Structure 1
Amino acid sequence: MKEIVVVKPHEVEVKEVPMPKISNDYEVLVKMQSAGVCGSDFHIYHGTNPCSTYPRIPGHENAGIVAAVGDKVSKVKVGDHVIVDLIMTCGECYQCKIGRKNVCENVRVRGSGADGGWREYFTAPEAEVYKISKDVPWKDAALVEPFAIGAHCTNRGRVVADDVVFILGTGTIGSIILQSCKAKGCKTIICCDINDASLERAQKYGADYVINSKTEDVVKRVQEITKEKGVSIAFDSACFPGSLTCVMQPGIIRNAGRVVPMGFVTEPEAITQAMINQREIEIIGSRMSCYQFEPTIKHMEDHDFILDGVATTFIKFSEIDKVFDHMSHPDPAVKKMVILFDE
């Protein structure tokens, strides 16, 4: 079989290797059918992902067909369509025992700290594999993981229908957070970006107001929209140096508001205790997702999401070089790539 290995930043190899075999009674062999390309994969390729090691097979948004199962596997059978979780955990630490396995003390993440799904076959424990209806196209099945992130971060932020929401950055994750907030009944969602096409897409997904921060005064517009109150929760899905400080500005986030940053920017920001405590703002961390795959799969099977336009670019596994070309030469029209494996 073939696998894609980022040997080191900006160096990729396509390797021919033996197909993996079932090694225990509870293991599942997955034949890959589709894989999403995430911003973290860009960072792995460019050497800017602080959580990754090399050499590494990328890919944590993985969908495929069960090709073989161990003797005691009961959750899935050969031929089932499945989504594979990205996290591998110990199950024994404090975090695992309180339902926070995504920040397990010993967590390993497929496609980052462990090898991921950009290969034709790989194995996973039965507990990390989730069945999905065969009616869901492979190009959509690859989006389960990012939609699970939307479910998790909005749960972490305790989003309710009465919230006034601000989303900075309307790329893939920002668009998904938008849909997740709409699903929770939010009636006022403000999306902010520098790209008009992204903002137009956000309106299609239900944004009530859009702000182009290149041409408009963001604080002034938020104040106008909220009648000088500010928003109750802000999501930073733009994730650039300074973006967290931006959403914490007086005029954007109101007193007692919540801020959920989504990225892994390592540069320090000019945030003080006074900025947090004078208005009793909560900064709520959110990483990946936790117990959200199965409910997200159900929502996808029930057609609860608008999937059109979330992924914009579909690339055959046999033409994987195009993925890395887009990583090296970004095109604003390429908002989300999905790899489709050859039949």
Structure 2
Amino acid sequence: MLMSKEVIVTEPHKFEVREVPRPEAAGDYDVLVKMKACGVCGSDVHNYLGENPCASYPRIPGHENAGVVEAVGSKVTRVKQGDHVVLDLVVACGECYQCKIGRYNVCEHVRARGSSIDGGWREYFVVPENQCYVISPEIPWKDAALVEPFAIGGHCTGRGRVVPEDTVLILGAGTIGAIILQTCKAKGVKTVICCDINDSSLERAKTYGADYVINTKNEDLALRVQDITGGHGVTCAFDSACFPGSLTSLFAPGIMANAGRVVSLGFCTAPEQISSAMLDQRELDLIGSRMSAYQFEPTIERFEQHAFNLEGIATHFIPFSRIGEVFDKIEHPDPSVKKMVILFDEEDM
């Protein structure tokens, strides 16, 4: 019997590496994927630490999945053996109101890989063909694993109705913040402001096209925004920092322009201090954004066109054979670790 390895978070702060029988593409529409790369998302970190309200245990983490098709079911037409693919993380019913209006990412019965169902931190796994998207073999595996987070950038900027005339503020210049920045620039936005408390993240944001950076540890955000915008405020803001109070902070006087949009991306469970007056006096839109819908294909197209600067988005590449290093870096955070990617073949390092 052929065997394969998988990583399971059994409960917060505990994981195991298990050897199990290799799965097969037994169903008509099954696709067996040999994993090649998987990004480590902030949600994987929170799952391991017991901080994600959507997580359940035991669970195989990982939703930023890329691999090669090993075998397919008898009725699969979307992909074939040998194709390079990236995998959608959303499992949706296709029948509910949300699915029927194109919002399958918040399906009434939605399940997300790596949190409510098992993800890709394993050598082989089976997915339905409708979750597979072919990507050019010219894209290195370490980059293919970044398609999913860039799909989030496409989705949340769509939710925020971003247009070139906007002045955008991004709170939090980590991985997702850097991706939102690049997505805004790809959509033609002329002014993007990034703020963070980490100077290295802000310096990186400059290389990705940030027009202004603000270290909120040293500078007053509202005063700087007023200065940059000539007193008008920003028209669209993204909370990709997602700490207690971060969302409320964007409603401080001087930051948002009247009729502006605030997009929230986090699962922080701490109550915020937002009043109806803070929304209604300026007629602001507060918009939730979760994962992505219908963004894999356009994101892959942009990857194949080299539309994004992927250098430095992931900073640490760790072989699957040394998976313990991933959990060690989660337990002992290092500001230099912006994002990790797990590579299943050491020749891809």
Per the normalisation by structure 1, the TM-score is 0.99
In structure 1, how many angstroms separate the alpha carbons of the residues matched to 2:154 and 2:139? 19
In structure 2, how many angstroms separate the alpha carbons of the residues matched to 1:258 and 1:264? 19
In structure 1, how many angstroms separate the alpha carbons of the residues matched to 2:49 and 2:164? 39
The aligned amino acid for 1:123 is V
Gapped regions of structure 2 (runs ≥ 5): none
Q: What is residue 223 of structure 1 aligned with on the other side? A: 226
In structure 1, how many angstroms separate the alpha carbons of the residues matched to 2:13 and 2:193? 37
The aligned amino acid for 1:294 is E
How many percent of aligned residue pairs carry the same amino acid? 68
Q: What is residue 157 of structure 1 aligned with on the other side? A: 160
Q: What is residue 191 of structure 1 aligned with on the other side? A: 194
The aligned amino acid for 2:345 is D
The aligned amino acid for 1:332 is P
Cα RMSD for the two superposed structures? 0.6
The aligned amino acid for 1:95 is Q
In structure 1, how many angstroms separate the alpha carbons of the residues matched to 2:38 and 2:164? 33
C-alpha deviation, 1:23, in angstroms: 2.2
SS in 2 for 1:17: strand
2:278 equivalent to 1:265: no
Alignment deviations for residues 19-65 of structure 1 (CA, whole Å, 9 cap, x no partner): 01112111100000000000000111000110010000000000000
C-alpha deviation, 1:178, in angstroms: 0.2
Q: What is residue 10 of structure 2 aligned with on the other side? A: 7
SS in 1 for 2:311: coil
2:94 equivalent to 1:91: yes
Q: What is residue 29 of structure 1 aligned with on the other side? A: 32
In structure 2, how many angstroms separate the alpha carbons of the residues matched to 1:234 and 1:43? 24
In structure 2, how many angstroms separate the alpha carbons of the residues matched to 1:317 and 1:302? 29
The aligned amino acid for 2:300 is I
Q: What is residue 45 of structure 1 aligned with on the other side? A: 48
Alignment deviations for residues 231-283 of structure 1 (CA, whole Å, 9 cap, x no partner): 00000000000000111112111111100011000000111111101111100
2:59 equivalent to 1:56: yes
SS in 2 for 1:284: strand
In structure 2, how many angstroms separate the alpha carbons of the residues matched to 1:301 and 1:109? 26
2:173 equivalent to 1:177: no
In structure 2, how many angstroms separate the alpha carbons of the residues matched to 1:127 and 1:264? 27
In structure 1, how many angstroms separate the alpha carbons of the residues matched to 2:301 and 2:20? 35
In structure 2, how many angstroms separate the alpha carbons of the residues matched to 1:70 and 1:168? 45
In structure 2, how many angstroms separate the alpha carbons of the residues matched to 1:180 and 1:217? 26
Q: What is residue 108 of structure 1 aligned with on the other side? A: 111
In structure 1, how many angstroms separate the alpha carbons of the residues matched to 2:312 and 2:116? 30
In structure 2, how many angstroms separate the alpha carbons of the residues matched to 1:93 and 1:74? 25
In structure 1, how many angstroms separate the alpha carbons of the residues matched to 2:52 and 2:14? 15
In structure 2, how many angstroms separate the alpha carbons of the residues matched to 1:219 and 1:109? 36
The aligned amino acid for 1:213 is T
C-alpha deviation, 1:83, in angstroms: 0.3
In structure 2, how many angstroms separate the alpha carbons of the residues matched to 1:224 and 1:276? 23
In structure 1, how many angstroms separate the alpha carbons of the residues matched to 2:51 and 2:280? 32
Alignment deviations for residues 145-203 of structure 1 (CA, whole Å, 9 cap, x no partner): 00000000000000000000000000000000000100111111100000111001000
In structure 2, how many angstroms separate the alpha carbons of the residues matched to 1:222 and 1:180? 21
SS in 2 for 1:6: strand
2:139 equivalent to 1:166: no
Write the mapping of 1:109-124 to structure 2, written as runs, cut at 5 A: 109-124=112-127
In structure 2, how many angstroms separate the alpha carbons of the residues matched to 1:12 and 1:126? 29
In structure 1, how many angstroms separate the alpha carbons of the residues matched to 2:131 and 2:146? 17
Of 273, 278, 281 in structure 2, the residue corresponding to residue 278 of structure 1 is 281
Of 206, 214, 221 in structure 1, the residue corresponding to residue 209 of structure 2 is 206
In structure 1, how many angstroms separate the alpha carbons of the residues matched to 2:117 and 2:189? 37
2:331 equivalent to 1:325: no
In structure 2, how many angstroms separate the alpha carbons of the residues matched to 1:205 and 1:342? 29
C-alpha deviation, 1:213, in angstroms: 0.4
SS in 2 for 1:241: coil
C-alpha deviation, 1:71, in angstroms: 0.9
Q: How many residues align?
A: 343
Deviates more, 1:56-65 or 1:212-221: 212-221
The structure 1 segments of at least 4 consecutive aligned residues displaced by more than 6 Å after TM superposition are none
In structure 2, how many angstroms separate the alpha carbons of the residues matched to 1:107 and 1:218? 37
The aligned amino acid for 2:124 is Y
